[in-house]
Amino acid sequence: IDNDYLKGWGVTPERISTIRRIFKVFFLQKLTVTQATEKIGLDFSGSEDAQLFLDFIKESKLGVHR
């Protein structure tokens, strides 16, 4: 995740931190897609960024390569 790019778009450091943590759960932990999305939903409930990520995963027609 490119912090400088996100900062350039005005993303706050708190949101960048949340996005990085979501990324780590989904891509770096040894979880299935189902397990990772459930964990993100629970650990980041109320987070707009988490909901956007989960919606993207759910609505993806081609899936996600990890």
Give me the torsion for CA of 58, 54, 33, 10, rounded to 10°: 130
State the pLDDT at residue 2: 82
Query: DSSP secondary structure string, 41-64?
Result: HHHTTT-HHHHHHHHHHHH-SS--
Task: Check residue 53 and give its pLDDT.
Answer: 96
Q: What is the model's pLDDT at position 21?
A: 97
pLDDT reading at 3 higher than 90: no
pLDDT value for 31: 96
Query: Tens digit of pLDDT for each residue in 10-62?
Result: 999 999 999 999 999 999 999 999 999 999 999 999 999 999 999 999 999 88
Report if pTM > 0.75. yes
Residue 54 contacts residue 19 (beta carbons within 8 Å):
no
